Amino acid sequence: MQEITEKLHDFLLEHIDEMSQEWLDSREVEKDSIYTADASSQTTEYLRVQNQYFTCKIVKVLIGESLDTLSDWAQEVASKRAQRGDSLYHSIHHFKKFRLIFFKQIESFFHLHSSSITYEE
């Protein structure tokens, strides 16, 4: 089981750019939202960096790393978004979008290795 977990870890990290880009491409034009599709390239890059940091931290839990630093980072991001006036609704909406993209990658991994792992694993 440990070997497959490490393979999943590596697989997800290999696809981190792809997942971030898919998430960014899924944006729509939204009034008064940092997530808007017509955001500046600087804002888009800021979102990409945040998304990849978050994804990397989540994936590293598979190999035993702690989520402690993620909590501090999430608090900082939430404070910045609140100061900008970004709604909690937009943040949750876009988190849910990314969660589906992330799970789709896990499913892809499963299909690639279906002969060596069970669905339960």
pLDDT in tens, 70-112: 788 788 888 888 888 788 888 889 999 999 999 999 999 999 9
CA distance 115 to 111: 8
Domain boundaries, the chain: 2-112
CA distance 2 to 34: 39
Alpha-carbon Rg for the chain in angstroms: 16
What is the per-residue pLDDT across 58-78, written as a single tens digit (0 to 9) for each?
999 888 888 887 788 788 888
Instruction: Please check whether residue 86 is in contact with residue 34, taking contact to mean a CB–CB distance below 8 angstroms.
Output: yes
The reported pLDDT for the residue numbered 116 is 83
Tokens (6 digits) for 19: 């997942």
Cα 51 from chain centroid? Answer: 5
